Amino acid sequence: MNRKRVVIIGGGFGGLNAAKQFRKNNFEIIIIDKTNHHLFQPLLYQVATAALSPGDIAVPIRSVFRGKKNIEVIMSEVLSVNKNESYVQLEDRRIYFDYLIMSPGSSHSYFGKNEWEKYAPGLKTLNDALSVRENILSSFEEAEIEEDKNKRDEYLTFVIIGGGPTGVEMAGAIAEIARQTMLKDFRNIKPQETKIFLIEAGARILTAYSGHLSAIAKSDLEKMGVKVMTDAMVTEVSTNGVTAGGTMIKTKNIIWAAGNEASPLLKSLGADLDRAGRVLVENDLSIKDYPNIFVIGDAANIKNQNGELLPGIAPVAIQQGKYAARIIEREIPKGNREPFSYFDKGTMATIGKAKAVAMIRRFEFSQGIAWFLWTFVHIFFLITFRNRFRVMGEWILYYFTSRRGVRLITRRARK
| 169, 176, 282, 394: the active-site residue | 169
Which residues are near a copy of itself by CB under 8 A? 35-37, 53-56, 58, 60, 62-63, 66-67, 69, 72-76, 93, 125-127, 130, 137, 141, 144-145, 184-188, 386, 389-390, 393, 397, 401, 403, 405-412
Nearer to a copy of itself, 367 or 402 (CB): 402
Nearer to a copy of itself, 22 or 197 (CB): 22
Least separation, in Å, of the C-beta of 46 and a copy of itself?
12
Nearer to a copy of itself, 126 or 159 (CB): 126
Least separation, in Å, of the C-beta of 401 and a copy of itself?
8
Catalytic residue check, 364:
no
Nearer to a copy of itself, 60 or 270 (CB): 60
Nearer to a copy of itself, 143 or 318 (CB): 143
CA 311 remoteness from chain centre: 13
Nearer to a copy of itself, 264 or 393 (CB): 393
HEC string of the chain equals: CCCEEEEEECCCHHHHHHHHHCCCCCEEEEEEECCCEEECHHHHHHHHCCCCCHHHHEEEHHHHCCCCCCEEEEECCEEEEECCCCEEEECCCEEECCEEEECCCEEECCCCCHHHHHCCCCCCCHHHHHHHHHHHHHHHHHHHHCCCHHHHHHHCEEEEECCCHHHHHHHHHHHHHHHHHHHHCCCCCCHHHCEEEEECCCCCCCCCCCHHHHHHHHHHHHHCCEEEECCCCEEEECCCEEEECCEEEECCEEEECCCEEECHHHHHHCCCECCCCCEECCCCCEECCEEEEEECHHHEECECCCCCECCCCHHHHHHHHHHHHHHHHCCCCHHHCCCCCCCCCCHHHHHHHHHHHHHHCHHHCCCHHHHHHHHHHHHHHCCCHHHHHHHHHHHHHHHHHCCCCCCCCCCCCCC
Least separation, in Å, of the C-beta of 66 and a copy of itself?
5
Least separation, in Å, of the C-beta of 97 and a copy of itself?
16
Least separation, in Å, of the C-beta of 210 and a copy of itself?
37
Least separation, in Å, of the C-beta of 332 and a copy of itself?
28
The catalytic residue positions are: 169
